[in-house]
C-alpha cells in the first residue's frame, strides 16, 4: 500500500508555500506521525529552511548530487539506469525526515516535458521518467516507515510540477486574498483537471509489467489563506473584497462544482487562515526552528512567548484538519 502524498501548490508565488510545508512537517512529527518532507522545488527553499549553511555545504558538494533528489533521478536522466533503489534521506528527528532539494533538479524539466507525449506510444522509458518522483517518494517513505509525505513545489505550471502533482494523492492550495491569487486559481484549476485526465489516459495504456505507477488522483482538499503574504501598503477592505470572491472561484475552477456554504455559513473548502506572525518569523529563521519551538533563549519572551503558544495551537488544528480530509489516521496525539 502506498503512503499518502499531499502536495502544497499554487502557481502564484509569494504565498508562503514553503513556510506552510515546513511548519506542518514539524507539527505532524509532534502529533505522532512519521513524516517524509520532500523538496521538489528547484529553488530548494524547504531544504534551506531545515538545514543550516554548514550542513547544506556538506550535502551540496561541487559536481556531486549523491544526497539530493536530483541524485536520485540522475541515472535515469543520464540514460544509465533507473532511479536509485535507496535515495538518501536526511534525518531531522526520529519522526521527521527530508528528501533534500537541489538546484540542479531544474535540468529534469526538459526531459519530463519530452517524455510526457511518448507515454501515449507506450514507451517504457517515458513511463519511468514521468513516474520517477512518485517511485522515489514511495521508496523513501517505505525506508523510514513514513505515515505521510508532504511535498513542496515551486510556483509554476511546468513539467516538473506536472510530474510531482501526478505523483500526489491530495492537493492543498495556499493563497493570499488578492487579485493575483484569484487569477492564479483560474489557471490552476483547469490545468489540474487536464493533467489528471491526461495521466489517466496514459496510465491505462501502460503495458509494462512490474512497473508501479501513481494513480494521479490530485484530489483538491481545500485552500489556506496565508495572511502573512499580505502587503502592508494595501487597505484591509481590498483583501476582504478578494477573500469574498475566492471561495466561488476555487469551487468552480479547482473543485469543479458550485459553491455551497456549510451550516455555519462558511466555505467548507477553506481550511483556515494562517496568521502573519511577523514578530516570530525572523527569530525562527535565525534559529532554524518552527515558530512554535522558539524559547526565551531565542528571544521569545513576553508577547512573543504568547505568540509561540498561539502558533502551536493554530498549526496543530490545521494539521489535524488536513489529516482528516486526506484520510490520514493520527494514531497517537501528543499533548503540546
CATH code where residue 310 lies: 3.40.50.300
According to the model, what pLDDT value does residue 157 have?
95
Contact of 17 with 176, CB cutoff 8 Å: no
Among residues 315, 310, 303, which one has the least CA distance to residue 279?
A: 303
Residue 91 pairs with which residues in a beta bridge?
Answer: 97
Please check the confidence at residue 334 and state whether its pLDDT lies above 50.
no
Please check the confidence at residue 306 and state whether its pLDDT lies above 80.
yes
297 lies in some domain: yes
332 lies in some domain: no
11 lies in some domain: yes
CA distance readout (Å), 246 to 21, 230, 235, 261, 269: 22, 15, 18, 13, 10
Please check the confidence at residue 101 and state whether its pLDDT lies above 90.
yes
For residues 245-273, one letter each, b for 16 or more C-beta atoms within 10 angstroms of the residue's C-beta and e for the rest, the string is ebbebbbebbbeeeeeeeeeeebebbbee
Which helix (DSSP H) or strand (DSSP E) does residue 191 occupy?
A: helix 179-205
According to the model, what pLDDT value does residue 332 have?
57
For residues 4-37, one letter each, b for 16 or more C-beta atoms within 10 angstroms of the residue's C-beta and e for the rest, the string is bbbbbbbbbeebbbbbbbbbbbbbbbbbebbbbb
| ∠ Cα 93 332 325 (to 5°) | 95
279 lies in some domain: yes
Share of the chain above pLDDT 90, in %: 71
189 lies in some domain: yes
pLDDT band at 236 (very low <50, low <70, confident <90, very high): low
336 lies in some domain: no
pLDDT band at 336 (very low <50, low <70, confident <90, very high): very low
Sorted by sequence, the CB contacts under 8 Å of residue 183 that are 6+ apart come out as 12
According to the model, what pLDDT value does residue 229 have?
43
According to the model, what pLDDT value does residue 262 have?
80
Which helix (DSSP H) or strand (DSSP E) does residue 90 occupy?
A: strand 90-93
CB atoms within 10 A of CB 118: 16
**Number of C-alpha atoms within 13 angstroms, CB side, residue 104?**
18
Q: The whole model's pTM is what? A: 0.94
According to the model, what pLDDT value does residue 286 have?
85
The DSSP symbol for 321 reads H
Give the structural domain span for 285.
Answer: 5-325
Mean pLDDT of 97-126: 96
The DSSP symbol for 251 reads I
54 lies in some domain: yes
Higher-scoring residue by pLDDT: 39, 182: 39
According to the model, what pLDDT value does residue 258 have?
86
193 lies in some domain: yes
Higher-scoring residue by pLDDT: 231, 186: 186
Most confident of the ranges 27-41, 77-91, 236-250, 276-290:
27-41
According to the model, what pLDDT value does residue 304 have?
85
Provide the pairing of β-strand 90-93 with 96-99: antiparallel
Contact of 162 with 195, CB cutoff 8 Å: yes
Among residues 197, 170, 173, which one has the least CA distance to residue 184?
A: 173
Question: Domains in the chain: how many in total?
Answer: 1
pLDDT band at 242 (very low <50, low <70, confident <90, very high): confident
Rg (CA), the chain: 20
Amino acid at each position: 500500500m502506498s503512503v499518502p502524498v499531499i502536495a502544497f501548490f499554487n502557481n502564484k508565488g509569494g504565498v508562503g508555500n514553503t513556510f506552510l510545508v515546513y511548519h506542518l512537517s514539524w507539527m505532524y512529527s509532534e502529533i505522532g506521525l512519521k513524516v517524509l518532507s520532500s523538496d521538489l522545488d528547484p529553488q530548494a527553499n524547504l531544504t534551506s529552511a531545515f538545514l543550516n549553511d554548514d550542513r547544506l555545504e556538506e550535502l551540496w558538494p561541487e559536481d556531486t548530487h549523491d544526497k539530493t533528489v536530483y541524485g536520485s533521478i540522475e541515472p535515469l536522466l543520464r540514460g544509465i539506469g533507473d532511479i536509485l533503489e535507496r535515495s538518501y534521506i536526511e534525518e531531522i528527528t526520529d519522526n521527521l525526515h527530508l528528501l533534500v532539494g537541489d538546484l540542479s533538479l531544474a535540468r529534469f524539466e526538459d526531459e519530463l516535458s519530452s517524455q510526457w507525449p511518448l507515454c501515449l506510444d507506450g514507451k517504457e522509458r517515458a513511463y519511468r521518467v514521468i513516474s520517477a518522483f512518485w517511485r522515489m517518494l514511495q521508496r523513501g517513505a517505505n525506508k523510514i516507515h513514513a505515515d505521510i509525505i508532504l511535498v513542496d513545489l515551486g510556483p509554476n505550471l511546468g513539467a516538473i510540477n506536472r510530474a510531482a502533482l501526478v505523483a500526489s494523492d491530495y492537493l492543498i492550495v495556499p493563497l493570499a486574498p488578492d487579485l493575483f491569487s484569484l487569477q492564479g486559481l483560474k489557471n490552476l484549476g483547469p490545468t489540474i483537471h487536464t493533467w489528471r485526465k491526461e495521466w489517466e489516459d496514459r496510465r491505462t495504456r501502460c503495458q509494462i509489467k512490474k512497473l508501479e505507477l501513481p494513480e494521479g488522483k490530485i484530489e483538491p482538499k481545500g485552500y489556506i489563506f496565508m495572511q502573512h503574504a499580505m502587503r502592508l501598503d494595501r487597505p484591509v477592505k481590498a483583501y476582504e473584497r478578494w477573500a469574498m470572491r475566492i471561495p466561488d472561484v476555487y469551487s468552480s475552477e479547482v473543485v469543479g462544482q458550485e459553491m455551497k456554504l456549510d451550516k455555519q455559513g462558511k466555505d467548507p473548502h477553506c481550511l483556515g487562515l494562517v496568521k502573519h506572525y511577523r514578530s516570530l518569523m525572523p527569530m525562527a529563521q535565525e534559529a532554524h526552528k518552527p515558530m512554535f519551538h522558539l524559547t526565551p533563549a531565542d528571544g521569545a519572551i513576553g508577547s512573543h512567548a504568547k505568540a509561540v503558544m498561539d502558533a502551536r495551537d493554530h498549526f496543530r488544528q490545521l494539521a489535524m484538519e488536513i489529516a482528516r480530509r486526506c484520510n490520514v489516521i493520527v494514531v497517537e496525539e501528543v499533548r503540546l
